[in-house]
Structures are given as structure tokens and as C-alpha cells.
């Protein structure tokens, strides 16, 4: 089970990274947070219902999201601040670890 989970999550995180690299140089008309929510992270929510993500994959996904959002900017804000609500000064970015755990627990209960 651990081997299958690690292989699945490494494949999913590699695909997310490849999609981020593919769209990195495009001039997106919508902001990057919405693109990350709608396209980059959509690939992982299905796998999160089957296997809980290992810490290594969460780190890789957070690194990919941060790299994609900031695109080489000098001033960067940590993801923890971006994950705050808009009323609290953040950008309402989804916490990958928390949502994947919630989806997994919900699937187990169902």
C-alpha cells in the first residue's frame, strides 16, 4: 500500500510540476491563484481521496505552487500568508495538506 501510494503521488506531483512549467511563460489573463486552484491543484484532489499524500509530495506541490505564482519576483510572501482569507490579508490559497487530509477522511467515512 505504501509503495502504491508513493508511486501514485510521485506521478501526480510530477504531472502538476510539468503543467506548471508548461504554462509558466504564458501571459494568463486570469490571476495565477485562480489558475493554481482550477488547473494545477485539480489534478491532485482525486488522488487525495484514495491515498493520503506523503510529506515529500506536499513539500513538492507547495514548492511548485510557490514557484508558479511568484515567477521569479524578488519580493515573495510565504504560502502560509497566501493561504489566509482575503479579509485577513491573504489570497485565499488552498492549503494542500489540509484539503487532501479532509478529502481522504471524508472518503473513509463515506
Mean of the per-residue pLDDT values of the chain? 88
Q: Please report where in the chains the cell 515567477 appears, as a residue.
A: 71
- pTM, 2 dp: 0.85
Q: Which domain covers residue 27, as residue numbers? A: 2-109
pLDDT in tens, 5-53: 899 999 999 999 998 888 877 766 557 788 888 888 887 999 999 999 9
d(CA 41, CA 13): 10
Task: Please report which confidence band the pLDDT of residue 91 belongs to, taking 50, 70 and 90 as the band edges.
Answer: confident
Check: CB of residue 32 under 8 Å from CB of residue 25. Answer: no
d(CA 84, CA 95): 9
Check: CB of residue 45 under 8 Å from CB of residue 103. Answer: yes
Q: According to the model, what pLDDT value does residue 8 have?
A: 92
Q: Residue 29: which residues within 8 A CB-CB, separation 6 or more?
A: none
Number of domain units in the chain: 1
Q: According to the model, what pLDDT value does residue 98 have?
A: 94
Amino acid at each position: 500500500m505504501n509503495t502504491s501510494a508513493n508511486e501514485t503521488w510521485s506521478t501526480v506531483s510530477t504531472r502538476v510540476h510539468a503543467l506548471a512549467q508548461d504554462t509558466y511563460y504564458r501571459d494568463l489573463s486570469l490571476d495565477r491563484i485562480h489558475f493554481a486552484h482550477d488547473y494545477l491543484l485539480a489534478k491532485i484532489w482525486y488522488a487525495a481521496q484514495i491515498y493520503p499524500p506523503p510529506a515529500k509530495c506536499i513539500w513538492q506541490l507547495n514548492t511548485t505552487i510557490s514557484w508558479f505564482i511568484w515567477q521569479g519576483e524578488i519580493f515573495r510572501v510565504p504560502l502560509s500568508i497566501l493561504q489566509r482569507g482575503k479579509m485577513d490579508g491573504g489570497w485565499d490559497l488552498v492549503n494542500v495538506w489540509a484539503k487532501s487530509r479532509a478529502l481522504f477522511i471524508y472518503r473513509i467515512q463515506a
